[in-house]
Amino acid sequence: DTGVSQDPRHKITKRGQNVTFRCDPISEHNRLYWYRQTLGQGPEFLTYFQNEAQLEKSRLLSDRFSAERPKGSFSTLEIQRTEQGDSAMYLCASSLVGEATDTQYFGPGTRLTVL
Amino acid sequence: GQNIDQPTEMTATEGAIVQINCTYQTSGFNGLFWYQQHAGEAPTFLSYNVLDGLEEKGRFSSFLSRSKGYSYLLLKELQMKDSASYLCAVLDSNYQLIWGAGTKLIIKP
């Protein structure tokens, strides 16, 4: 299967701990997005990369959040000093710039629970 | 500001037809997407409209009117597996996806 993959699928942590999530996009896709989603809401944009360059980061995003895509392939999202409000589904999506529709395809998500 | 509106919840009967509406106000427009999302799962792509009119894909069709800032998703011959949330999203002038909160569709036998 060559779809978007994310790891881990579930993460339970205690408040104050750091967590890191990984996303592997569809291999030929050059854009990679991170979103956060809570129950009953649409995905909330966090940040995105084109190849290895981080092109935009949400102004609402705390400095505790950082993302990398070092070689333009997989990406990691780190949350430092987690808070209970960080509990959410973290979604990764990828797309191919230049494709007519620029459709984003999502991974299965990582569900984070902060106790 | 940017805004996507869609009903919070709809109920329909198995075998019937349902129309889910979406209105939008965004800074620029580069296309409108519909995604399906089952509970606890990631969104999956359903359709894309960038020109006015109807796009048909099997039991699902999507319509767009750019002048009215309006789209709908039409689901025919409803099946129980269609119970899910349906998300409307617009690609704005910065090629950012602006998302609605989703419409939860409940199918009853």
What's the pLDDT at A1? 54
Q: Which residues are CB-contacts of A69 (< 8 A; sequence separation ≥ 6)?
A: A32, A49, A51, A52, A54, A75, A76
What's the pLDDT at A98? 72
Structure tokens at B68: 């009215």
Range A6-32 average pLDDT: 96
Verify whether the Cβ–Cβ distance A42 to B87 is below 8 Å.
yes
Is the pLDDT at B53 greater than 80, yes or no? yes
Is the pLDDT at A99 greater than 90, yes or no? no
A2 vs B102, residue with greater confidence: B102
Chain B touched by A104 (CB under 8 Å): yes
What's the pLDDT at A55? 87
Contact B50, B106 (CB under 8 A): no
R_g of chain B computed on alpha carbons? 13
Helix (H, G, I), strand (E, B) or coil at B58: coil
- Where does residue B11 fall: left (phi above 0), alpha (psi -120 to 50 degrees), or beta otherwise? beta
A97 vs B20, residue with greater confidence: B20
3-state secondary structure A55-109: EEECCCCCCCEEEECCCCCCEEEEECCCCHHHCEEEEEEEECECECCCCCEECCC
Amino acid at B101: A
- Minimal CA separation from B96 to chain A, in Å: 9
For the segment B8-34, what is each residue's pLDDT rounded down to a tens digit? 999 999 999 999 999 999 999 999 999
R_g of chain A computed on alpha carbons? 14
Q: Is the dihedral of CA A112, A6, B38, B18 positive or negative?
A: positive
For the segment A9-20, what is each residue's pLDDT rounded down to a tens digit? 999 999 999 999
Mutant choice from B20, B95, B106 vs A, greatest count of A C-beta within 10 A: B95
- Minimal CA separation from B15 to chain A, in Å: 26
Helix (H, G, I), strand (E, B) or coil at B37: strand
- Minimal CA separation from B13 to chain A, in Å: 22
For the segment A61-91, what is each residue's pLDDT rounded down to a tens digit? 889 999 999 888 999 999 999 999 999 999 9
Q: Which residues are CB-contacts of B32 (< 8 A; sequence separation ≥ 6)?
A: B22, B24, B48, B49, B50, B62, B64, B71, B88, B89, B90, B91
Q: How far is it, in rounded angstroms, from Cα B26 to Cα A100?
A: 20
Could you tell me the end-to-end alpha-carbon distance of chain A, in angstroms, rounded to an integer? Answer: 34
What's the pLDDT at A61? 82
For the segment A38-62, what is each residue's pLDDT rounded down to a tens digit? 998 999 999 999 988 888 888 878 8
For the segment B72-109, what is each residue's pLDDT rounded down to a tens digit? 999 999 999 999 999 999 998 888 899 999 999 999 99
